[in-house]
C-alpha cells in the first residue's frame, strides 16, 4: 500500500469535510458582538474614570489614584461575580467584560468559587490562579525582560 497516497487521501477527505462544516456553521454576529463589547467595555472604563477623578480629588497622586481605582474595580468585579451577575454580563458583552480589569477579577473568583468543594488549598487556593496565574506569569516575565533590556541600553 502506498503510505503517502493514503495520507494524501485522508488529508483530502479532512479538507473536504472542513469546507462542508464551514458552509453550514452558523456565524458569529460579528458586528453585534463588537457593538456589545464596545458599549459594555466603554461603560466599565467610564466607571473607572469616575473613580479615578474621585480619588484624585481626595488628594491622591497620579499613581496612587490609578492603583486605588484598579483595586476598586477589582472589588466590583469580584462582587458581581460572587453575586452571579458577571457571567450574565459576559454572555452579552464578550470581550467587553473580559478585557477590563473587572474581567481579571472575574477570572479569579469564578474558578475559586467553583472549586470550593475541593477544599481550601487545592480548590480555592490553587484554582484561583487558573487564568490569573498565566496573566501574572507573563506580565512579570515581560516586565523583567523590559527592565533588563532597559538596564543594558542605559
Determine, following the binding rule CB under 8 A, whether residue 18 of this chain makes contact with another protein. yes
User: Closest approach of Cβ 154 to another protein, in Å?
Assistant: 7
Q: Which of 2, 3, 84, 121 binds another protein (CB under 8 A)?
A: 84
Q: Which of 6, 7, 9, 17 binds another protein (CB under 8 A)?
A: 17
Determine, following the binding rule CB under 8 A, whether residue 55 of this chain makes contact with another protein. no
User: Closest approach of Cβ 58 to another protein, in Å?
Assistant: 15
Determine, following the binding rule CB under 8 A, whether residue 34 of this chain makes contact with another protein. yes
Coil, strand or helix at 1? coil
Picking from 21, 16, 31, 41, the residue whose alpha carbon sits closest to that of residue 94 is 41
Determine how many CB atoms are found less than 10 A away from the CB of residue 97: 25
What is the spatial distance between Cα 102 and Cα 108, in angstroms, rounded to a whole number? 10
Determine, following the binding rule CB under 8 A, whether residue 116 of this chain makes contact with another protein. yes
What is the spatial distance between Cα 93 and Cα 32, in angstroms, rounded to a whole number? 10
Residue 8 or 136 having the CB closest to another protein: 136
User: Closest approach of Cβ 77 to another protein, in Å?
Assistant: 8
Q: Which of 1, 2, 4, 27 binds another protein (CB under 8 A)?
A: 27
The grid coordinates of residue 29 equal 454576529
What is the spatial distance between Cα 147 and Cα 151, in angstroms, rounded to a whole number? 6
Amino acid at each position: 500500500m502506498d503510505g503517502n497516497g493514503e495520507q494524501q487521501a485522508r488529508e483530502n477527505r479532512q479538507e473536504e469535510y472542513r469546507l462542508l462544516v464551514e458552509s453550514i456553521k452558523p456565524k458569529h454576529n460579528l458586528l453585534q458582538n463588537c457593538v456589545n463589547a464596545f458599549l459594555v467595555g466603554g461603560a466599565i472604563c467610564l466607571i473607572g474614570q469616575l473613580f479615578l477623578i474621585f480619588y484624585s480629588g481626595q488628594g491622591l497622586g497620579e499613581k496612587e489614584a490609578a492603583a486605588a481605582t484598579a483595586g476598586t474595580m477589582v472589588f466590583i468585579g469580584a462582587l458581581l461575580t460572587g453575586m452571579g451577575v458577571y457571567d450574565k454580563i459576559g454572555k452579552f458583552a464578550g470581550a467587553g467584560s473580559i478585557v477590563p480589569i473587572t474581567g481579571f477579577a472575574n477570572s479569579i473568583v469564578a474558578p475559586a468559587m467553583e472549586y470550593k468543594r475541593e477544599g481550601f488549598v487545592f480548590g480555592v487556593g490553587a484554582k484561583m490562579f487558573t487564568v490569573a496565574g498565566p496573566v501574572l506569569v507573563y506580565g512579570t516575565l515581560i516586565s523583567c525582560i523590559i527592565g533588563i533590556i532597559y538596564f543594558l541600553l542605559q
